[in-house]
Amino acid sequence: PFEVELTDTGTTVTVPPDRTILEVVEEHGVRVLSSCRAGVCGTCETRVVEGEIEHRDAILNEEEKHLGDSMMICVSRAAAGCRKLTLDL
């Protein structure tokens, strides 16, 4: 599991291995636009304030992935060894 801090409310939520960030933040009442939920449309792109990302989408190119300032929260996760992501949500 890893934690996600939401900058709008300062809330921190825990994302277990079998759930996506998108699912967990929605469950906490955060409204995020989404469509494919499979990392292929780009709708759920979210700005990353802090933390290392394991990108699993098919939208960002290598350069964008390396920059690490946004992620598709329907599929991508915290990198191994990163225990917390701070997202602009």
Distances (CA, A) of 55 to 61, 80, 86: 10, 11, 15
Smallest CA-to-CA distance from 36 within 45, 28, 27, 48 is with: 45
Which stretch, 2-10, 37-45, 46-54, 81-89, contacts ligand FES (CB under 6 A)?
A: 37-45
Stretch that binds ligand FES, among 6-14, 33-41, 46-54, 62-70 (CB under 6 A): 33-41
DSSP helix/strand/coil, 9: coil
20 sits near ligand FES (criterion: CB under 6 A): no
72 binds ligand FES, rule: CB under 6 A: yes
Round to whole Å and give the CA distance between 34 and 1: 23
User: Does position 74 bind ligand FES by CB under 6 A?
Assistant: yes
Among residues 6, 21, 57, 77, the one that binds ligand FES under rule CB under 6 A: 57
